């Protein structure tokens, strides 16, 4: 039986996306192709897990009229959820595609402040997840949540028999290292910030990721490299896969799609190289679609078939 993949989003968002002929200062910008998606790292992961046929539960903080709108958007797609109330309003973020330049402008709101009683409720909610579940904690921290929250969640996961996956950045990611995570997935920029140096020299990325795995930071580290593909470090060594050639229509949620597909494959018992390839395929499928984290199952499977996993 495939275990549950639960996700945690402490700072969810409503992602508004649209297109404009040209983005220019001062002038009124007329937009088209408007859409609203439920967003935030863990919510994106849960949506993709559901699309790919996995069992999931999205756990998130939500508040105000925007929080109710977020819940409505999730109910429209029948995504299993547990929303935990907060006094503040759920944030709204905006992405605008400038068609004249083919460039995407992303405006990401800071979000509400979360009280101690509100984030403590998150820890209590995780306590009731069934042992053996995977828990994907993903995204930024809202104001008021302690920087070491992912470390606390890692300790809780080990005690409860949960398999933690962490996808964050900065102090929140650093605080989560060494607490038994099965996988962390930074981007290259996030990983360079984590280790405190650029990693452009040949072999530098492999060496740094392998050192963190050997030191017990996490069991696996997947670093997404944009147009250069991705790297996976694990106890058996390192693997690289190239980016798949697709027409890019939007990048929001591509990393979350990668995480969703890789974790689902691992939960289904796939070998690390195979799971890694599923992640790369889902990331490519996501960027080929507009909106937030919208890879279609058939597209992911087709791209996976084009991608032979490296040995390992």
pLDDT per residue as tens digits for the range 67-97: 999 999 999 999 999 999 999 999 999 999 9
Model confidence, pTM = 0.93
- As given in the structure block, the two tokens for residue 65 are 């009229």
d(CA 294, CA 47): 8
Which listed residue (155, 256, 274, 299) is catalytic? 256
| pLDDT for residue 303 | 93
pLDDT digits (tens, 9 = 90+) for 155-213: 999 999 999 999 999 999 999 999 999 999 999 999 999 999 999 999 999 999 999 99
Asked whether residue 2 carries a pLDDT value surpassing 60, the answer given is yes
Q: What is the mean pLDDT of residues 278-295?
A: 86
**256 is annotated as an active-site residue:** yes
| pLDDT for residue 294 | 81
Asked whether residue 247 carries a pLDDT value surpassing 80, the answer given is no
| Look-up of token digits 């999730």 | 74
Question: Which candidate, 179, 173, 165, 216, places its Cα nearest to that of 191?
Answer: 173
CA-angle at 163, arms to 162 and 168, nearest 5°: 115
| pLDDT for residue 260 | 97
Where do the domains of the chain lie, and which CATH numbers do they carry? 5-23+31-305 (3.40.1190.20)
If one compares 104 and 55, the residue with the highest pLDDT of the two is 55
- Indicate the average pLDDT of the chain: 94
Helix boundaries (H) for the chain: 41-51, 64-76, 116-127, 149-160, 170-176, 188-195, 204-214, 254-267, 272-287, 297-305
Q: How far is CA 282 from CA 68, 95, 210, 307, in A?
A: 29, 21, 24, 11
Give the sign of the dihedral formed by CA 164, CA 166, CA 172, CA 176: positive
| pLDDT for residue 89 | 98
Confidence category of residue 312, pLDDT binned at 50, 70, 90: low
Question: Which candidate, 15, 264, 11, places its Cα nearest to that of 136?
Answer: 264
Asked whether residue 311 carries a pLDDT value surpassing 70, the answer given is no
Strands 5-9 and 56-62: parallel
């Amino acid at each position: 039986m495939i275990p549950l993949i639960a996700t945690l989003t402490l700072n969810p968002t409503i992602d508004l996306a649209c297109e404009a002929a040209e983005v220019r200062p001062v002038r009124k910008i007329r937009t088209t192709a408007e859409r609203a998606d439920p967003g935030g790292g863990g919510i994106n992961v849960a949506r993709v897990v559901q699309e790919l046929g996995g069992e999931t539960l999205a756990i998130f903080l939500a508040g105000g009229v925007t929080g109710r709108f977020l819940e409505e958007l999730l109910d429209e797609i029948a995504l299993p959820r547990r929303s935990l109330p907060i006094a503040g309003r759920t944030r709204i973020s905006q992405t605008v595609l400038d068609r004249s330049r083919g460039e995407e402008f992303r405006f990401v709101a800071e979000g509400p402040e979360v009280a101690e009683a509100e984030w403590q409720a998150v820890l209590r909610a995780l306590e009731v997840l069934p042992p053996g579940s995977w828990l994907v904690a993903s995204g930024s921290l809202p104001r008021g949540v302690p920087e070491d929250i992912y470390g606390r969640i890692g300790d809780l996961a080990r005690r409860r028999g949960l398999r933690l996956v962490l996808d964050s950045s900065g102090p929140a990611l650093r605080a989560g290292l060494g607490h038994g995570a099965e996988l962390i997935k930074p981007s290259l920029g996030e990983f360079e910030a984590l280790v405190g140096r650029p990693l452009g020299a040949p072999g530098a990325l492999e060496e740094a990721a392998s050192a963190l795995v050997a030191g017990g930071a996490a069991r696996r580290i997947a670093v997404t490299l944009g147009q250069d593909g991705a790297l996976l470090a694990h106890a058996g060594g390192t693997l690289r896969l190239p980016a798949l050639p697709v027409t890019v229509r939007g990048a929001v949620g591509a990393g979350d799609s990668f995480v969703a597909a890789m974790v689902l494959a691992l939960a289904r018992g796939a070998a690390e190289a195979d799971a890694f390839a599923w992640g790369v395929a889902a990331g490519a499928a996501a960027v080929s679609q507009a909106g937030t984290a919208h890879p279609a199952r058939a597209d992911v499977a087709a791209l996976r078939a084009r991608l032979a996993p490296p040995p390992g």
